[in-house]
Amino acid sequence: QVQLVESGGGLVQPGESLRLSCAASGSGFSTYTMDWYRQAPGKQRELVATITSGGNTNYGDSVKGRFTISRDNFKRTVALQMNSLNPEDTAIYYCHAQRVSLGYWGQGTQVTVSS
């Protein structure tokens, strides 16, 4: 089993940057595909970014070129660097770990972009 704890959320102004981090406990972290999802009020949860166990990345169309996902298998962390934030990025951001049929979620961290 994997436990995930997100951190780094907060209130920022449009155009600013924020870096989210997700710390994992449990075994086999390096074998998991790691994702960041987000959910805005009244909207469905959407996939923001993915990084596979091999380091391949994929991004949602709305964040391409602005967000970067990375992982450190030694530290068992995954990060989401978010640049050029805009109010539409306001949401709760969730870390997710997936391996075959096993999936785990963190509790989420709030990101608010507002002037």
Q: In this predicted structure, what is the pLDDT of residue 26?
A: 86
**Which residues in the chain belong to E strands, given as ranges?**
3-7, 10-12, 18-25, 33-39, 46-51, 57-59, 67-72, 77-82, 91-99, 102-105, 109-113
Q: In this predicted structure, what is the pLDDT of residue 66?
A: 98
> 22: pLDDT confidence band, cut at 50, 70 and 90?
very high
Q: In this predicted structure, what is the pLDDT of residue 101?
A: 87
What count of other Cβ atoms lies within 10 Å of the Cβ of residue 47? 14
With contact defined as beta carbons under 8 Å apart, do 3 and 24 qualify?
yes
